[in-house]
A and B are shown apart, each in its own frame.
Chain A
Amino acid sequence: MIRVRRSAVIDAPIERVWAVLRDFNSHSAWHPAVGPSEIENGEPSDQIGCVRNFTLQDGNHIREQLLALSDRDHVSTYCILDATLPMRNYVASLQLKRVTDGDRTFWHWESTFDVPRGREREFDELVGNGVYEAGFAALAAYLRRDGRSVSRVTPVDSQGVVATSFGGPDVLQMRRLDAPAPRNGEVRIRQTAVGVNYIDVYIRKGLYRMIELPAPIGMEAAGVVLESQVAGISPGDRVAYACTPPGAYVTVRTLPANQLVLLPDHVSDEAAAAIMLKGMTAEYLLHRTYRVKPGDTVLVHAAAGGVGLFLCQWASALGARVIGTVSSEAKAELARANGCEHPIVTRSYSFAERTKQLSGGRGADVIYDGLGHDAAQENLAALAMRGHWVSYGHATGALEPLNLGAKSGTLSQPVLFHYTEDSLQQMAGRTFAALRDGILRPDVRHRYLLAAAADAHRDLEARRTSGQIVLLP
């Protein structure tokens, strides 16, 4: 068994070097000894287990398999499966480390393998000099040639769950996609957790026409910045977003940096994916559309739903009396455990009388209504004099014109993205603080691989899930 070790310092930031090296099929683009190369079976070139099949410039033919890949430690490990060279048991590992002094990269490359007796020196030279040292120099030159525009060097493959037509969960299919190089003001991120929301189902069904088919769906995700063309966000930063247009069900995404927030250490990627859209919705509904005060009576419909639970948790922490509507006893229990003092179990949208009773005849100071049409008359009846009716969804159809004058009532029909347009950072900041302080308690009970998004939708629509659903790319 011989061991070959080589190391060098590359005059480029670690993110740039890693963006190239983590792609198991990039070597034909930069290594002078490598000829044509392809990943077998069309697998992504960063998938553990994928096999690269290539010829060397000297005519030799090699198949190598990716064994391990760590974006955190910047390590890639692989082995030779077949080679026309007499090398056996070849396992190689390359690791990058950041040189903070000068923002450079330390690159260590080593391997162990067996060769026929007497040919050790020959192969030490061949691998150590012909492959590793030649590779150091070639990649450094490759990165220099490309100047600052790292993005062109590294065409990044993305995969995503695409709605191929409008319809049931089966229209969702995994497809190869392109994550284009970031332009000015944009970043490219590798996503680590994607949030699933009911709006994704509406979009998949074509009820909300927010995509041109075929296109990936999804509104929110968290991940790590690969490349940035904007000041203040750097490769390696942990970020999250909730935004239009849809397209979050992907492994790599390029999007405008003004949609992103930096994640504090205390917010995990999963928590971020679970909380960006629903948590920021609760934030603006409770603090911006209407400012909930201690002593307010708050009526929350679908109190055990995704946004409903956050509204109950946060409104009760603000000192409000929280009344909620739910469709079953089990959901009433869940709502109660999350700050809803008075869950009302009703399937027929009758709750006005009970709301008045619970509030000493006064009614609700604010109603958070995602129900819409079928509950409209009850909502008007349940509203306190000069109360505020916040209609942020319409599960049973759009509202018709209302006689709000009967209560001197105020109606708002807010949309999250009209608030995030200019207040995203403050909204996310308050949401993360609520998470840190235990006010918001996301409950990620369901995790699916990104490729199994259709299963997640089936379970969501069949009401087999509760709490938040996260897809893992």
Chain B
Amino acid sequence: MIKVYTSSVIDAPADLVWARVRDFNGLPQWTPFVTESRIEEGWPADRIGCVRNFRLRDGGLIRERLLTLSDFDYECSYSILESPMGVENYVATLKLTPVTDGNRTFAEWWAEFDCAPERESALAEQIGHGVFQAAFDSLKKVLAR
């Protein structure tokens, strides 16, 4: 089991950032790598257990299940059901915390998963940097004041 942790500071109030990221079906609106997304079986995007089915720019298809969603804690978590990444038991959590100094947002995103030992460092880099940090960077642009 390896853990990848990425955190950043978004220059926007936490409630605005949360409004963006709480939409489990909203990846195409704020990440650079997702082109289209739908929630399977017509479920609402904030119902625990719903499955988002989305396509990456490179063509890969990923299905993820929403495990938790808390508007109080600004925190949600999800697991991967299917992906081309070759990971097992993948659970990720995205959490926001208000920064009172400057009315900004401290954003954390971490994942735990199993994979072949020789792929650990490459996957950690790909997920921590290529996915989480890239999404944060994109979020910063989308929400620039």
Q: Are B97 and A6 in contact (CB under 8 A)?
A: no
Taken residue by residue from 76 to 105, chain B's Cβ proximity to chain A (1 for < 8 Å, 0 otherwise) reads as 000000000000000000000111111010
Q: Does A133 contact B (CB under 8 A)?
A: yes
**Which B residues are CB-close (under 8 A) to A99?**
7-9, 106
Chain B residue nearest to A95 (CB atoms) is B97
**Which B residues are CB-close (under 8 A) to A73?**
none
Q: Are A101 and B101 in contact (CB under 8 A)?
A: no
Q: Does A98 contact B (CB under 8 A)?
A: yes
Q: Are B101 and A106 in contact (CB under 8 A)?
A: no
Q: Are A9 and B100 in contact (CB under 8 A)?
A: no
B97 to chain A, nearest CB (A): 7
How far is it, in angstroms, between the C-alpha of A133 and the C-alpha of B101 when the chains are bound? 8
Q: Does B36 contact A (CB under 8 A)?
A: no
Of B101, B102, B106, the residue contacting A97 (CB under 8 A) is B106
Chain A residue nearest to B2 (CB atoms) is A265
How far is it, in angstroms, between the C-alpha of A9 and the C-alpha of B9 when the chains are bound? 8
Q: Are A5 and B9 in contact (CB under 8 A)?
A: no
Number of residues from A at the complex interface, CB < 8 A: 16
**Which B residues are CB-close (under 8 A) to A100?**
5-8, 128, 133
Q: Are B108 and A97 in contact (CB under 8 A)?
A: yes
Count of A-B residue pairs with CB < 8 Å: 53
Q: Are B7 and A9 in contact (CB under 8 A)?
A: no
User: A106-B97, A106-B99, A108-B97 are contacts. A9–B106 as well, Cβ < 8 Å?
Assistant: yes
User: A100-B5, A101-B133 are contacts. A6–B100 as well, Cβ < 8 Å?
Assistant: yes
Of B6, B100, B136, the residue contacting A8 (CB under 8 A) is B100
Q: Does A7 contact B (CB under 8 A)?
A: yes
Q: Does A136 contact B (CB under 8 A)?
A: yes
Chain B residue nearest to A132 (CB atoms) is B100
**Which A residues are CB-close (under 8 A) to B102?**
8-9
Q: Are A6 and B101 in contact (CB under 8 A)?
A: yes
Of B6, B99, B100, B104, the residue contacting A101 (CB under 8 A) is B6
Q: Does A104 contact B (CB under 8 A)?
A: yes
Is chain A's binding surface mostly helix, strand, loop or mixed? strand
**Which B residues are CB-close (under 8 A) to A102?**
8-9
Is chain B's binding surface mostly helix, strand, loop or mixed? strand
**Which B residues are CB-close (under 8 A) to A101?**
6-9, 133, 136
How far is it, in angstroms, between the C-alpha of A8 and the C-alpha of B99 when the chains are bound? 5
Chain A residue nearest to B4 (CB atoms) is A100
How far is it, in angstroms, between the C-alpha of A9 and the C-alpha of B133 when the chains are bound? 18
Chain B residue nearest to A10 (CB atoms) is B101
B48 to chain A, nearest CB (A): 26
**Which A residues are CB-close (under 8 A) to B8?**
99-102
How far is it, in angstroms, between the C-alpha of A97 and the C-alpha of B99 when the chains are bound? 12
How far is it, in angstroms, between the C-alpha of A133 and the C-alpha of B7 when the chains are bound? 22
**Which A residues are CB-close (under 8 A) to B9?**
9, 99, 101-102, 104, 106
A110 to chain B, nearest CB (A): 10
How far is it, in angstroms, between the C-alpha of A108 and the C-alpha of B106 when the chains are bound? 10
A404 to chain B, nearest CB (A): 48
Chain A residue nearest to B132 (CB atoms) is A100
Taken residue by residue from 2 to 26, chain A's Cβ proximity to chain B (1 for < 8 Å, 0 otherwise) reads as 0001111100000000000000000
Question: Would you give 12 A-B contacts (Cβ < 8 Å), ordered by A?
Answer: A7-B97, A7-B106, A8-B99, A8-B100, A9-B99, A9-B102, A97-B108, A101-B9, A101-B133, A106-B9, A106-B99, A136-B101
- Residues of B at under 8 Å CB distance from A? 5-9, 97-102, 104, 106, 108, 128, 133, 136
- Residues of A at under 8 Å CB distance from B? 5-9, 97-102, 104, 106, 108, 133, 136
- The list of the 6 closest CB pairs from A to B, nearest first, reads A101-B8, A8-B101, A106-B106, A6-B100, A7-B99, A99-B7
17 new A-B pairs (CB below 8 Å) besides A7-B101, A9-B106, A99-B8? A6-B100, A7-B97, A7-B98, A7-B100, A8-B99, A8-B100, A8-B101, A8-B102, A9-B9, A9-B101, A97-B7, A97-B106, A98-B5, A100-B5, A102-B8, A106-B9, A106-B106
